[in-house]
Amino acid sequence: MAEDFKTARLPVITPDMSDEDMEKMMASACDASNMLKALSHEGRLMILCHLVTGEKSVTELEELLSARQAAVSQQLARLRLEGLVKPRREGKTIYYSLTDDRPRRILETIYELFCSVGEPEKERPTEK
């Protein structure tokens, strides 16, 4: 029963699927692929991790990442291109924040699967 719920959220491709539905699915796959490519760089991933906690200036991000301004700006440009972050200018300072909840939701899954730094491992059920 639980397995049915999980698969119900995923698309099912069938031979009788309409061309329109297949085109929509391909467009969505392209969008998802572009977002995943943007997330596939550890620098961009770390920027998003920092922005999950709130808006940060480019200078703050440089310090948090121990990176040069040019490198941080290059990664922010890619994240901006994919619509994951948005800039806000205040005088000479540029601040960045997440555009919506998509990056946060993806980072929660990535954290659950790969990070959990400093947390005790959850006990896994033993086989009988």
pLDDT digit string (tens) for 89-122?
Answer: 999 999 999 999 999 999 999 998 888 766 555 5
Distances (CA, A) of 51 to 19, 42, 74, 109: 39, 14, 16, 16
* Predicted TM-score (pTM) of this structure: 0.76
